A and B are shown apart, each in its own frame.
Chain A
Amino acid sequence: MTKKAAVITIVFIMALSVPAWAQTHSEAYKDNIYSTGELKPVDSVLKVKVGDTAPDFMLFSITGQKVTLSQYRGKKNVVLSFVPAAWTPVCSDQWPGYNIVKDLFDKNDAVLLGITVDNIPTLYAWTNQMGKLWFSVLSDFYPHGKVAETYGVLRSDGTTERALFVIDKKGVIRYIDVHDINKRPSLETLIRELEKLK
């Protein structure tokens, strides 16, 4: 078979297959999820690495509070969960899972900070569909994606990667997962990483 024929066949199979990104299925959102289609798995270059001191930041949460990373220094481990955008697949099915495992974060002396580049009203409306969240939801809207850019997870279209950073009480980055944007990271892997901090 020629290379061209092989390519055509592969493209044909892919076009007919059920898309991997079709993963937001909760009736909570009804028809309000914007279908992004399958996206480039990763579209940025990390600017930090495991072992680095995590860059500090100040962002506003949807409850109007100023939240800094440094406020947790010496007190709590921190998980930063960047998700690409409100009202999109996968993201809408990620934080609601974290919302029922506060005990697992508590057990590992960790807080969770959810971050997107959406503005606060959008984040407020979107996260309201998830029920009452126990963790802070922060807006990295203006200057647009500044924190995401600092960490190297701002994509070329202005959204962020689906990325997890585990930062210990000394402010050191201990784990980074810049995940395939089309897929949800494993909860088990994240919790195991938190358990390693003990």
Chain B
Amino acid sequence: MKKIILVSVLLLISLAATIPVLAAGPPKPGEKLFDFTLPVPAERADRNYLGISGWGKTFRVADIKANLVLIEILSMYCPFCQKEAPIVNQLYEAIEKDPAAKGKIKIIGIGAGNSAYEVEVFRKRYNVPFPVFPDPDYDIHKKCGEVRTPFFIAVRLNPDGTQEVGYAKLGGFGEIPAFLEMLKKSAGL
């Protein structure tokens, strides 16, 4: 009898440990962003861009100094992400040139299944100006419902410390001016 109870408990524990992974679907507008941490970038320029400090530690999206953060889930091995890279760079430039958006809207990339080396290859190849973080074991990718790539998530960082997904969509975001206006509106700018 004891054995049966022990096995049952073990089964329940294993089930409970698996549920969050199984339950994770793609992020949806209006939802809170799934919780994850990222390593503080080694490059000073990246830290300055994000407005975070403490190299060697980790941070959360909520720690980024911005009204809105656009997260791109990508992979250096994904042809569409490769094709989209120059367009995302153009969006970054458009944000930096827009006095209302600069400093308020930030972009980060997360390389699903990519090592630090692979993420750097991608950044160098496409001159990606914003930080891209490795996710070698798909940990973050699993939390966001194993979305296809590229997948864009715009997260509004509210003054009360809460975050809300304003946009979550697979594939390219279309015309930059219209998309930037949408982001600005979502960021309350």
Q: Which residues of A contact B (CB under 8 A)?
A: 1-2, 5, 8-9, 12-13, 16-18, 22-23, 25-28, 93-94, 96-97, 99-101, 104, 129-131, 184, 186-188
Contact = CB atoms under 8 A, between A and B. Distances in A.
B136 to A, nearest CB: 9
Interface of B: 3, 6-7, 10-11, 14-15, 17-18, 21-22, 75-83, 112-113, 115, 117-118, 121-122, 125, 138, 141-142, 146-150, 170-171
A96 B14 contact: no
B79 A2 contact: no
Contact of A187 (B21, B118, B170): B118
12 contacts: A1-B7, A5-B6, A9-B11, A12-B14, A13-B17, A16-B14, A25-B147, A25-B149, A27-B78, A28-B79, A93-B77, A99-B79
Contacts of A22: 146
B27 to A, nearest CB: 15
Given A1-B3, A27-B150, A188 B81 contact: no
Contacts of A97: 76-77, 118
Contacts of A131: 79, 82-83
Contacts of A8: 7, 11
Chain B binding surface SS class: helix
Contacts of A28: 78-80
Given A16-B22, A25-B112, A27-B149, A96 B6 contact: no
Contact of B170 (A1, A13, A27): A27
Contacts of A94: 77
B149 A187 contact: no
Nearest to A22: B146
